[in-house]
Amino acid sequence: MPRDLPIGNGNVLVNFDSQYQIRDIYFPRVGQDNQTVGRVNHLGFWVDGQFSWISEDWHIEKKYLKETLVTDVLLRNDRLGIEARFHDLVDAFDNVLLRELRISSIDGKEHQVRVFFHQDFSISENEVGDTAYYDPRTSSVIHYKKNRYFLINTKTQLKTGISDWSVGKKGVDGLEGTYKDAEDGKLGGNPIVQGSVDSTVGLHLNVPRTGEVVGHYWMCLGRSYEEVAKLNAVMAAGEQAEQMVPRNQNYWRLWVNPEHIDFHGLPAKVVELFKRSLLTIRTQVDNGGAIIAANDHDITQFARDTYSYMWPRDGALVAYAMTKAGHRDLTQRFFRFCNEVMKEEGYLMHKYNPDKSVASSWHPWLKDGKEVLPIQEDETALVIWSFWHHFKKFRNIEFVRTVMDKIIFDGADFLCRYRDETTKLPLPSYDLWEERWGVHLFTVSSVIAGLMAAANFCQAVGELTRAHHYQEVAEEVKEAMCEYMWSKEHKRFCRMATRTESGYDLDMTIDAAMYSIFAFGEMNPHDSKVVSTMNAIRERLWIKTEVGGLARYENDYYHQISQDLENVPGNPWFICTMWLAQYDIAAARTTDDLKSAVVLMEWVANRALSSGVLAEQVHPYSNEPLSVSPLTWSHATFVTCVLEYLDRKKQLMTENVFSHTIVPV
């Protein structure tokens, strides 16, 4: 089920599903650990003796308050005669989840309403040894295990503190959980339970015939009782709970607009998704620097693993987008993370956990009886490339000097060494899709870009010998790419080359990732080799249904829907569709040439969820989201595309002005 409405602050991430049920609570790091392991945390209403869970007969409208990470969710139930508007947020300053609700009557009658919030924890991702209890000192319900504490409390206009609660067993002895206890409108009030446990708390409100009544629910997250009790005391004091929504509105509106941007008449829905994408990306970035690929726990149903890891490649491309958008501190933390995890030999591993430990992997150290490096070389190269753009934007030399030795020198030296001595192409590694072992066009392009970025760094700081060496190697790799990876027969580049005794066997499968030949700056978008390759991508991979969009590659098996490969070579991916837009932007010679890119950006905006969240893929016939959502890379590619469009349009407008300037004689 798609994850909708992510909210977070870099320490805490909370995900709702499409039915507005909390499914994931990540703490103390984004992506590590999921304290609910994807299970439903129910929300229900008892109204005048009738009960309903919101997954039943409710009309739900889900969005955010404009330019914020504060939700704006409308729940309406005609049978019960009420309407509830929720504003949910994770405080930008403290580790507190706040849910503000405003309930009104829609049938002109007074109503007695009890709102029930269910908490289904598996602390540190397992339920063994959890404890839940009512704490009379704070009038709250607390879940804890070891150094993880979660304090739940409520407030109405008449009372602060919980007076209606239930803590109990779940998943043992046939017990479903305490949420079932809410269906009669009354909770048991037992004081404590341990083992596999959950809890439910009730908020009692009297709804008038006209107007609205307001209530607040909050969860304080911390590493000790003292920490959460202190946060709770702040929340319970004065008007703190009431002030959190406007305070966070102001914070996020400032955050999402670090620089003035002239959008040059882009459609409003594109501009709106641009800003929503920046905010969504922020929810997926841990304050320790890890840029997480996605935090949708439902993907475990397919592989018993998640996307909740930091892939250096994804991170580098996201950091590039955030750099262009003006977010220095966030991207700086990412590069510090990479500096700390980079191997002494100068390469980065497959992926990492948010705490900087090496994550799970399916890349072997042994292949065909020989030891190999289980890496994707593009991940190392693109971190260097992205770091150069970060430095160009911010000129933060004090930071750069603290990480230059490892990221730039060690990283570039590795790229120079990791090459075939005869052909000068990089040695084999895994592709960006993590499926094939060989020499990939995307990887080769990224290596050229990484080496040129390293040369630029060295030139800037006066390391001229290194600068010359890196540039020389980059040129060798580029020449080898054109010699060995260009097919005269097909008149386009291959996606992968496999070394043989006499040269390379070429895999001519058309792959959207071949866009890399222009994307990182090594080849002109008007070069005939680039044009013919991009034309092949456009013609073969465009989905020929009403949905449209660009597939990843021919006969893409991942979440495959159709075997009609002529019309549906794969499911449409947001990132791949944006790569096509990036090419149209780079190749544009006039402002009119940019119109096709705008159409593609609108295609993306039209297929976002109502909240603005982008999945990885969409269904080629129904537009339904497929795979994980939100995918951080999808949002970052959209941000990059918009900013590259604006840069190119400004450049073309300037060129047009100069070309029409009359120089007096």
Q: How confident is the model at residue 174 (pLDDT cuts 50, 70, 90)?
A: confident
- Neighbouring residues of 329: CB distance < 8 A, sequence distance ≥ 6: none
Stretch 546-551: mean pLDDT: 98
Output the pTM of the full model. 0.96
Express as a percent the part of the chain with pLDDT over 70: 98
pLDDT surpasses 80 at 665: no
Per this entry, what is the length of the chain? Answer: 665
**Token duo for residue 58:** 């409710």
Q: What is the pLDDT of residue 519?
A: 97
Q: What is the pLDDT of residue 137?
A: 98
Could you give the CA distance from residue 392 to residue 398 in angstroms, rounded to a whole number?
13
Q: What is the pLDDT of residue 307?
A: 92
Stretch 361-375: mean pLDDT: 96
Q: How confident is the model at residue 269 (pLDDT cuts 50, 70, 90)?
A: very high
Stretch 278-298: mean pLDDT: 95
Q: How confident is the model at residue 303 (pLDDT cuts 50, 70, 90)?
A: low
Residue written as tokens 């882009």? 266
Contact 550, 573 (CB under 8 A): yes
pLDDT surpasses 70 at 302: no
**Token duo for residue 308:** 């909740």
| 517-547 pLDDT, tens digit each | 999 998 999 999 999 999 999 999 999 999 9
pLDDT surpasses 60 at 662: no
| 378-405 pLDDT, tens digit each | 999 999 999 999 999 999 999 999 999 9
Q: Please give the full DSSP string across 127-182, using - where no structure is assigned.
A: -TTEEEEEETTTTEEEEEETTEEEEEEEEESS-BS--SEEEEE-SSTT---GGGGG
Average pLDDT, the chain: 96
Q: What is the pLDDT of residue 296?
A: 84
Q: What is the pLDDT of residue 655?
A: 83
Tally DSSP H helices, then E strands, for the chain: 16, 30
The dihedrals phi and psi of 17, each to the nearest 5 degrees, come to -95, -175
Residue environment code for 425-439, b if the CB has 16+ CB neighbours within 10 A, otherwise e: bbebbbbbbeebbbb
Domains present along the chain, CATH in parentheses: 3-255 (2.70.98.10), 259-285+542-657 (no CATH), 328-540 (1.50.10.10)
Contact 277, 615 (CB under 8 A): no
| 326-343 pLDDT, tens digit each | 999 999 999 999 999 999
pLDDT surpasses 60 at 660: no
Q: What is the pLDDT of residue 423?
A: 97
Contact 537, 510 (CB under 8 A): yes
Name beta bridge partners: 26.
Answer: 13, 34
* SS3 category, 426: strand
| 566-587 pLDDT, tens digit each | 999 999 999 999 999 999 999 9
207 closest CA partner among 62, 80, 51, 57: 80
Question: What's the alpha-carbon Rg for the chain, to the nearest Å?
Answer: 27
Q: What is the pLDDT of residue 2?
A: 75
| 234-266 pLDDT, tens digit each | 999 999 999 999 999 999 999 999 989 999 999
DSSP state of 406: I
Could you give the CA distance from residue 446 to residue 441 in angstroms, rounded to a whole number?
9
Stretch 179-188: mean pLDDT: 95
- Neighbouring residues of 401: CB distance < 8 A, sequence distance ≥ 6: none
Amino acid at residue number 627: S
Q: What is the pLDDT of residue 171?
A: 87
Residue written as tokens 């996307």? 307
| Backbone dihedral region for residue 369 (phi beyond 0: left; psi -120 to 50: alpha; all else: beta) | left
Stretch 40-57: mean pLDDT: 96
Q: What is the pLDDT of residue 429?
A: 98
pLDDT surpasses 80 at 91: yes
Q: What is the pLDDT of residue 175?
A: 87
DSSP state of 356: S
